[in-house]
Chains A and B, each alone.
Chain A
Amino acid sequence: MPDVERVQPGDDIHVERGEISVNRYGPAARVNHWITAASLILLAVSGLALFYPSLFFLTGLFGGGQNTRALHPYFGVVLFISFFVFFLQLWRANLPTRTDVKWVSQINDVVAGREEKLPEVGKYNAGQKFIFWSMAFFILVLIVTGVMVWQAYFAPYVPIETQRIALLVHAISAVLIICVFILHVYAAIWTRGTLRAMTRGTVTGGWAFRHHRKWFRELASRRRVDPAE
């Protein structure tokens, strides 16, 4: 098993007029993230519209039921590809570490925001890693089951009983991925100063020091190295 990637290319510390800012995500990563996010939201909305009759009116967003039915699977393909690219950039940084276990064991301190009590974490804490891996897992399940019931192209070649199971799994996975999504979004909002990581791409030194001190130290220590080298 490869080592966890503690620092990723592009991570760096800048100090301007005493203000410390830390590069967390490059432009490519951010675009990638938002495409993924957008398609996930579109999928959630169109999916819910086709799953809950009381939400069927949401198909209006896509120009009616026929369009929603037609678009949903394409959104899925976009999500899958976009996330796949994202995945390749981040997966090594999201490999589990020993500290993750301790971190999880103190989950109530996490929820309470008593971060000083927690072990120092690297670029990603266990919670973020959980989001990352569950997203990866559900997106995979959803794309596979989704293709099986994609009426226009594939469904006619899949046994009906298989399709029935696929639909059930697809529905359950969809519900769960939406839960993960809610967690992700809420965590990002609750942990102030996080959003700018995906907007500007940088975080404050304080934020890095508070939430990802191990990662921050790593970057700081790198600054000792002579640039000539």
Chain B
Amino acid sequence: MNLDLSRRSFLKLAGAGVAATSVGAMGFGEAEAAEAAHVRPFKLATTTETRNTCPYCSVACGVILYSKGDLRKGETADIVHIEGDADHPTNRGTLCPKGAALKDFVKSPTRLQYPMHRKPGSDKFERISWDEAFDRMARLMKDDRDANFTATNQNGLPVNRWSTTGMLAASATTNETAWATFKFAKGLGIVGFDNQARV
């Protein structure tokens, strides 16, 4: 592009000329001082990594949570980014459109913050304390169990069924949570007990 070069030098002359006559002397020099080329500062610097598993489908991709603050040090941890774990044999760092956006699930504007209570017939939820909620729920459940429990069948065989209260367990909870939930539900004799595997 010799043309370009010759043109450039030509322009410099002209430019200089105009500069001299017009504003060059008037201290507009800084208008020329452009920001030097640079890339965005790497945003994961000084974050804390935590190995986790994508909670969506059953491929169970390995993910790394990047947080400001470290739970293991007793700090509050704010998750700033989530990315696939390249060490994981199944996903090898890749993630699908859901997994790649996990941070927005954690940070969703519709994440629940407080226990809420809706009175019969009401058109709104109202805040309720955990303690109040637990007592109220335990009472409602016990009363229903006591009132409708089937201890024995017509032949006097102990059948131990509580069929008037049911439960759906979440198949996105951990095995450990599931085991606790299992003990709770089957221990109470809840027979209407299923999880997403049913549907």
- A interface residues with partner B (beta carbon < 8 Å): 45, 48, 52-61, 64
Contacts and interface: CB of A to CB of B under 8 A. Distances in A.
B15 A52 contact: yes
A53 B15 CA distance: 9
Contact of A54 (B15, B22, B28): B15
B60 interface: no
A57 B32 contact: yes
Contact of B19 (A45, A53, A57, A64): A57
B17 to A, nearest CB: 10
B11 interface: yes
Interface in B66-105: none
Majority SS at the chain A contact face: helix
Contacts, number: 39
Contact of B32 (A45, A48, A56, A61): A56
B29 interface: yes
Size bracket of the B interface: 10 to 19
A55 B15 contact: yes
A58 B28 contact: yes
A54 B7 CA distance: 11
Contacts of A58: 18, 22-23, 28, 31
Nearest to B24: A57
Contacts of B30: 60
A53 B11 contact: yes
B36 to A, nearest CB: 16
A54 B31 contact: no
Contacts of A53: 11
Nearest to B18: A55
A54 B23 contact: no
Given A60-B23, A61-B23, A54 B14 contact: yes
Scoring A53, A55, A58 by chain B CB atoms within 10 A of each residue's CB, the highest score goes to A58
B12 interface: yes
Given A54-B11, A55-B18, 6 more contacts: A48-B18, A54-B12, A54-B14, A58-B18, A60-B32, A61-B28
Scoring A45, A52, A54, A55 by chain B CB atoms within 10 A of each residue's CB, the highest score goes to A54
Contacts of B32: 56-57, 60
A54 B8 CA distance: 8
A64 B29 CA distance: 11
Contacts of B14: 52, 54-55
Interface in B1-54: 8, 11-12, 14-15, 18-19, 22-24, 28-32
